[in-house]
Amino acid sequence: MTGKWNPPVSRAWLLRLFFGAALGVAMPLAAENLRVVLEVSPPHQTFENGKVSGLTTAVVELMLQQAKLTPQYEVYPWARAFRLAATTPNVLIYNMARTPEREQQFEWIGKVGSYKFGFLKLAKRQDIQVQQLKDVHQYVVGAQRDDFSAEWLKNVARQPASQLQLQPDVVETWRLLVNGKLDLMLDDPSAIDDMLIKHKLKLAEVEFVLFIPELEQQTWIALKKGSDPKLIERLRDAYQQVEGSAELKKVMELGLPQGKGTGFDLVKTSLL
């Protein structure tokens, strides 16, 4: 499905949309189209040659087919996608962590991904030695702005502000890591293949040094609270019809690599 947004041409409709969004009022859907916002985050969400695809996108498209809705994709950096979905009714977002801070902001349609995060470095960086979480404080760590992992780094890991760099998306975080501008970043071992290919790296050239159990997350499809109740019911009914699909099973079963070379140590941190 192409990532293209076709704005309505009706001036009256635009005025209703503007004032409706400003007041937090749900607007009716037109022509069975549904506005969908997302970030680029391979292999779950990809955007190449104007086409949105990826593992979680396949699940979302199955669900929308069942709901007889046509997605109108908009691809943004995560922070902008999140803010649009958090402030505009009837805008679907995926693939989002369901955190306590977000619980009352959204209607949660269904799970669409599974992540297990650890600190990642370039294997050649032998100067970076991490045995426990407090060791991370001496290194420059990258994460995505407004991502739950960035909030965890600030509020739980207590990463010093001078040692934390927030980027618009995971693609930029990877670029900085590869170019030596970051020492560490957070990522999921099952989700790095596309970035390795992009930067012409072998698996042995990166190393996960610490895995954080609290960052294991199942991610969701969601809409803002106050969205059209009929739309929410329609999407939930459609999601139930794809719960047993091979596409959803595939993405939910992604996990840690098996065998040698995973480079993982486990650490339990306090959420207090």
DSSP symbols for 31-70: TTEEEEEE--BTTTBEEETTEEESHHHHHHHHHHHHHT-E
Q: Is residue 246 in some structural domain? A: yes
Residue 261: pLDDT over 70: no
The pair phi, psi for residue 173, each rounded to 5°, is -60, -45
Q: Is residue 1 in some structural domain? A: no
pLDDT band at 30 (very low <50, low <70, confident <90, very high): very low
Q: Is residue 2 in some structural domain? A: no
pLDDT score of 163: 98
Helix (H) or strand (E) holding 227: none
Which of 26-40, 93-107, 162-176 is predicted least confidently? 26-40
d(CA 258, CA 241): 32
Q: Is residue 151 in some structural domain? A: yes
Q: Is residue 189 in some structural domain? A: yes
Tokens of 60: 């979302």
d(CA 126, CA 104): 44
Residues 6+ apart with CB under 8 A from 128: 121, 139, 183, 184, 209
pLDDT (average), residues 137-154: 95
pLDDT (average), residues 46-65: 93
Average pLDDT of the chain is 85
Domain boundary among 193, 215, 237: 215
Across 213-240, b (16+ Cβ under 10 Å) vs e yields eebebebbbbbbebbbeebbebbbebbe
In the chain, how many domains are there?
A: 2
Q: Domain containing 89: what range? A: 11-114+218-252
Residues 6+ apart with CB under 8 A from 25: 19, 89, 226
* 18 and 145 assigned to the same domain: no
Q: What is the pTM of this model?
A: 0.74
Across 173-205, b (16+ Cβ under 10 Å) vs e yields bbbebbeeebbbbbbbbbbbebbeeeeebeeee
